A and B are shown apart, each in its own frame.
Chain A
Amino acid sequence: MTPSVRLQEMIRVIRSARTQGEERGIIQKECADIRAQFRQGDNGERSHSLAKLLYVHMLGYPAHFGQMECVRLIASPRYSEKRIGYLGAMMLLDEKQDASLLITNSIKNDLSHSSQYVQSLALCTLACMGSAEMCRDLAPEIERLLRASNCYIKKKATLCAVHIIRKVPELAELFTPSARSLLSEKNHGVLHGAVVLITELCEHNPDTLDQFRKAVPELVQIMKGLVTSSYSPEHNVAGISDPFLQVRILRLLRILGHNNDTASDAMNDLLAQVATNTDSSKTAGSAVLYETVLTIMDINSESGLRVLAVNILGRFLLNNDRNIRYISMTSLQKIVQTDHNAVQRHRGTIVDCLKDQDTSVKRRALELSLALVSAVNIRSMMKELLIFLSTCPPELRSQTTSGIFNVAERYSPSKRWHIDTILHVLTTAGGDVRDETVPNLIQLITTASELHCYTVHKLYRALVKEISQQPLVQVACWCIGEYGDLLLKGECEEIEPVQVTEDDVLDALETVLQSHMSSPATRGFALTATMKLSTRITDNVDRIRSIVSIYGSCIDLELQQRAVEYNALFKKYDHMRAAVLERMPVMGKNSPGHTNGDTSGENKEPDPSKPKPVEAGLLSEPASQVCDLLDLLGGTDTPLQPNPAPTSTPTTTSSTDLLDLLGGLEPTPVLTETVYEKNGLRLKIQCDKQTETEVMVTLIGSNSAQNDITNFSLQAAVPKSVQLQMKAPSGNVIPAHGLGQVTQTVVLNNPNKVSLKIRIRVSYSNQGVMHQDTVQIDSFPSPACQPQSALCDTYTSSASP
């Protein structure tokens, strides 16, 4: 038999292999030797062979034939063999292997060995790979060692106990009595282990948690000792005395103080002391401060302490160390909902972090910035977000666009700003927006009827500039189709007038139709838009006819079908063309075409056999009339416009028909009730959602006076068992002459189903005079059960001039 090569020699040989194949060859030979060695039995070489096998295992080669050897070596009386045997057990055996059970007996014996280093090996191995069965067997031994042994063994036994509890939670009771007494140890290792053990016990069992709350003063004492102690070379890390132990104690205090006032009070002073005195110039100090902040935020701490914690996080944001900035933002993200105002103070720094190099930091900064947007700062925040969008890394773009759309929807100060913002996003990052963006934007545009002219001009110009961003092109085509007449008129208040001829418009649409960059859906939009223009332009109808007939033989099935149908509209149904292609009604958010993923719902012409809800007489102002109709179907955001009487009869009957045709769609009649009216200010309450235990209402303030109403704010009070949550208001200024309104959503959680009453205090300034009034609402407007009667109700209210 060739003499066995020493371990280091073998490593050298393996490393010198130049190819994977050569290495495999060497390893195969070595493994064969090792196997032979194992078979030979005890000759003093076994530990060498196992060590070699462990190296081979680390390189990724199979080593299962060494498992039994580990068992044998562990049972050996020689320390060197035990040492490598236990290491092998930890590396090769895990609880799923049968061989692991065989070492239980050896471990048991070694736990009572005369040498503490042998005991240590056994404890370490048990804590590393002990299965539930082994733990059950050996738990009493561990408990004994916990109580009566030297520090070296005690600290190991403690962590072994932690492992046992994790594996077999029922054994927790066994260790609870000894755990408490361990806190009086002076040795840091034992103390640390004790804190870990107590933490584990408390997390497993709420009763034990109550029991250990009594230990809070003791823990506070230990912590104080660490914080104020003089320099101790043994435990010092960058000026902090044993940061590992400090962090663990803070974590335990967090668990003990959570939801408990007495415990939280007992630790207030300590936390303030740690927060102010810890030097955070190095990572060790920052780690302690970080844990302190987490603890402060999770217990019932007083508000001054919470502000201190948020300020620490704010300071972290300015730290040079990137890790600390990242940590700070993850923590701020967790508390931004509950301590919104405190975090708002650091908004500037957070927005600056959007420009950081690190993508993870950027991502956190983006999430936080979006959470911090409110009605007050929306304009400045949006500027920053749009700048960020133009330079942000590609993996963050879709998150950014969705975030921007969400906050724009919630807090936009005006419709025009909203539309501008969406257009800006589409031009910058059109490829990364969600699919619903196009129908959402179209719906928004239809509701902003005063901006149709402005919107179509802007979109036309964007379209002429470039046609690569599909969502933008789709919206632009739709608008040009719808409002082409406004585009051609040329004048628009808010934008410089540019003369656009019919040919220009048709050229633009044709470019889209023919471009290879346009997706099939986009071309569908363009074709329909071209068709719609046939009723809105005067001179070039023939050109449209020819375009449409060309596409009658297009390869794309969708386009072909559309073209054929439009052709038919020109030929056989020309008398209906005007009616079919007229202006679309204002769309509510719940209308069927809106929820459809692709927008073909809005673009396909309505079935000519459907009775048209509007008669010829209404062609002149379609939008305002039909607005009422759709309002009956769903909650639109547009204020109801006054409806001239002559249209009343036909609209009622056809609205019923329309409702029947829509069949399964349940109308959600939204009822508003005026609760307060004074000095031109009208406050309405609108019931959005009502279940047995929860009601969601929106309070709407409108102003019909000559002057703006400023400093408008609402406070609410509810009966005791009801929980009230008031969301952020959309603003605090209500413009005069009914030009705008302020909305605030209120959620009432009524678990005991008491009768709901709410008292609202309205405060506002009008012409420099402060007003304050209280109004009590005893009953909420509820959705009626009969759709028919609901229609009549809302209808009559809208008919009033």
Chain B
Amino acid sequence: MMHFLLLFSRQGKLRLQKWFLPLPERERKKIVKDMTTMVLSRKPRTCNFLHWKDLKIVYKRYASLYFCCALENKDNELLALEILHRYVELLDKYFGSVCELDIIFNFEKAYFILDEFLMGGEIQETSKQSIAKSVEASDMLQETMEEYMSKPAF
């Protein structure tokens, strides 16, 4: 099971944080700090796996964003790389050539997409099209309501 998933920029600014375990706020902040320090200090041609406490940390850099997740010992690290890649593909499909700014200004949508892909630290759906359809349908539901209320979304 995945313990958490973090997205942060090269300057260490947090862009998304998903926690699959209950942890107090103070501890979350500390973990974010540890992760950003550890991952940002990695040299360019090193492997994408780290050990931290009793967890395996898998990270991958996409343009200016670092995607970082924590796995338990029995989880498959290579598959985790595929999971991170799948999430990026989903974002890409939704935003159309996604970049960091998209995720900054539409962070709530990034969360909605993630919530259709992962749940409780496990993969919920393995088909890209299925996830895209669900998110689209939810958006439609929201917009219909908004149109009805004649108010802009957020």
Contact = CB atoms under 8 A, between A and B. Distances in A.
Contacts of B17: 58
Interface in B66-107: 74, 76-79, 81-83, 85-86, 104-105, 107
Contacts of A73: none
Contact of A242 (B19, B126, B146): B126
Contacts of B16: 58
A359 B149 CA distance: 59
Interface stretch (A76-84, A458-466, A595-603): A76-84
B126 A244 contact: yes
Contacts of B129: 234
A159 B119 CA distance: 7
Given A244-B79, A360-B47, A251 B120 contact: no
Contacts of A547: none
A20 interface: no
A683 interface: no
Interface stretch (A47-55, A607-615, A753-761): A47-55
Contacts of B20: 128
A322 B45 CA distance: 9
A188 B22 contact: no
B149 A322 contact: no
Contact of A290 (B76, B107, B123, B154): B76
B47 A361 contact: yes
Given A48-B154, A80-B153, A128-B119, A291 B76 contact: yes
Interface string A127-165: 111010000000000000000000010011001101100
A60 B19 CA distance: 15
B22 A129 contact: yes
A360 B49 contact: yes
A123 B79 CA distance: 25
B109 to A, nearest CB: 10
Contacts of A47: 154
Given A80-B142, A155-B124, A193-B124, A244 B46 contact: no
B79 to A, nearest CB: 4
A115 B141 contact: yes
A283 B78 CA distance: 6
A294 to B, nearest CB: 8
Contact of B152 (A6, A84, A242): A6
A44 B47 contact: no
A196 interface: yes
Contacts of B146: 80
A84 B153 CA distance: 11
Q: For chain A, which range describes its interface: under 10, 10 to 19, 20 to 34, or 35 or more residues?
A: 35 or more
A323 B81 contact: yes
B23 A94 contact: yes
Contacts of A78: 145, 149
A738 B47 CA distance: 52
A444 interface: no
B64 interface: no
B46 A322 contact: yes
A159 B46 contact: no
Contacts of A163: 120
Of A96, A117, A129, A325, most buried by chain B (CB within 10 Å of CB) is A117
A51 B46 CA distance: 38
Q: For chain B, which range describes its interface: under 10, 10 to 19, 20 to 34, or 35 or more residues?
A: 35 or more
A414 B114 CA distance: 63
Contact of A189 (B76, B105, B127): B127
Nearest to B50: A360
A494 to B, nearest CB: 45
Contacts of B48: 323
A124 interface: yes
Contact of B120 (A48, A58, A60, A127): A127
A15 B29 CA distance: 21
A324 interface: yes
A799 interface: no
Interface in A23-59: 44, 47-48, 51, 54-55, 58-59
Contact of A87 (B74, B82, B83, B112): B112
A170 B147 CA distance: 47
Interface of B: 14-17, 19-20, 22-24, 29, 45-50, 74, 76-79, 81-83, 85-86, 104-105, 107-108, 111-112, 115, 119-120, 122-130, 134, 137-138, 141-142, 145-146, 149, 151-154
Given A48-B154, A359-B46, 14 more contacts: A7-B154, A11-B104, A80-B153, A87-B112, A117-B141, A127-B119, A152-B134, A159-B122, A166-B120, A189-B126, A193-B122, A234-B129, A291-B76, A361-B47
7 contacts: A80-B145, A115-B141, A120-B138, A156-B124, A323-B47, A323-B78, A358-B46
Interface of A: 6-8, 11-12, 15, 44, 47-48, 51, 54-55, 58-60, 78-80, 83-84, 87, 94-96, 115, 117, 120, 123-124, 127-129, 131, 152, 155-156, 159-160, 162-163, 166, 188-189, 192-193, 196, 234-235, 237, 242-245, 247, 251, 283-284, 286-287, 290-291, 322-327, 357-361
